[in-house]
């Protein structure tokens, strides 16, 4: 399940892409399939090992185009182990809401992105997220959990303050909002509850089959209850890392 829309975030074979806070690697795998050179960075060593294992499996299965490369590494989003202007694209999906110094992370993304490069940044949307917080403290009051809820304009303003020029945004994953509301209502760790199990089956079916009915339904509902808010931005070609300091 991809949160970033690659029709709005174009990649070319050979592009160097950083997936920051890659987690299980869902965006990294798509980047590799598109023939780019991807670095998946995360602080969780277990996730990094599993993503590297998947990269190897994709290569052996012929899913990685010739010339494309992929590696997963551990690292700190506030102190990225890369030189200035290292990447053509940066993805950071569902990460900023976890980090107290989100401005510091945006500054690091700006630093490692090449002038003219693109960044895609996604966070939980304000409305659906507020419902989750109201229904369950356990949803967010956990170690490493969500520490803030962004209003759309707040994220755009922080992206602009970091030196980027936003060029688009949208909401996505509307069908996932009710799922999380149900989980928060019955207990976020209660995966055995019948409503949770039934809705989860619906989501898996939708992901695997992508039927027109649910695709149309989600497209119609995204502006209303889309679970994630996505912002796309470019680093100006005349920009330097000093400009964002």
pLDDT at position 243 over 80: no
Kind and range of the H or E run holding 233: strand 228-234
Give the mean pLDDT of 175-187: 97
CA angle 135/141/144 to nearest 5° reads 135
Query: What residues contact 103, with CB distance under 8 A and at least 6 apart?
Result: 158, 161, 162
Confidence of residue 240 (pLDDT cuts 50, 70, 90): low
**For the segment 96-130, what is each residue's pLDDT rounded down to a tens digit?**
999 999 999 999 999 999 999 999 999 999 999 99
Range from 1-15, 55-69, 128-142, 230-244 carrying the lowest mean pLDDT: 230-244
Percent of the chain with pLDDT over 70: 97
Distance CA 29, CA 51 (A): 9
Q: Which of 169, 163, 17, 116 is nearest to 25 (CA)?
A: 17
Query: Does the structure show a pLDDT above 60 at 245?
Result: no
Which pLDDT value is given to residue 142? Answer: 84
Mean residue pLDDT of the chain comes to 95
Reported as a single tens digit per residue, the pLDDT across 52-111 is 999 999 999 999 999 999 999 999 999 999 999 999 999 999 999 999 999 999 999 999
134-143 pLDDT, tens digit per residue, is 999 999 988 8
- Tens of pLDDT along 17-29? 999 999 999 999 9
pLDDT at 42: 98
Once rounded to an integer, what is the mean pLDDT over residues 210-224? Answer: 94
Q: Which residues pair with 69 in a beta bridge?
A: 37
End-to-end Cα separation, the chain, in angstroms:
35
Q: How far apart are CA 60 and CA 243, in angstroms?
A: 43
């Amino acid at each position: 399940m991809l949160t970033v829309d690659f029709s709005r975030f174009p990649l070319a074979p050979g592009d160097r892409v950083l997936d920051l806070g890659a987690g299980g690697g869902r965006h990294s795998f798509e980047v590799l399939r598109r023939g780019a050179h991807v670095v998946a960075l995360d602080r969780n060593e277990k996730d990094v090992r599993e993503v590297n294992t998947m990269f190897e499996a994709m290569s052996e299965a012929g899913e990685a185009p010739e010339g494309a490369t992929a590696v997963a590494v551990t690292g700190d989003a506030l102190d990225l182990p890369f030189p200035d202007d290292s990447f053509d694209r940066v993805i950071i999906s569902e990460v900023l809401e976890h980090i107290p110094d989100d401005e510091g992370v945006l500054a690091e993304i700006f630093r490692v992105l090449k002038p003219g490069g693109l960044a895609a940044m996604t966070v939980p949307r304000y409305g659906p997220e507020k419902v989750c917080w109201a229904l369950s403290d356990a949803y967010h009051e956990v170690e490493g959990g969500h520490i803030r809820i962004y209003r759309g304009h707040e994220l755009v303003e922080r992206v602009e303050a970091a030196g980027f020029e936003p060029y688009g945004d949208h909401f996505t994953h509307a069908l996932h909002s009710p799922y999380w509301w149900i989980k928060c209502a019955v207990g976020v760790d209660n995966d055995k509850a019948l409503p949770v199990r039934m809705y989860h089956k619906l989501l898996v079916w939708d992901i695997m089959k992508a039927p027109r009915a649910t695709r149309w339904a989600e497209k119609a509902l995204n502006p209303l209850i889309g679970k994630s808010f996505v912002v796309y931005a470019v680093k100006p070609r005349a920009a330097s890392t000093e400009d964002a300091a």
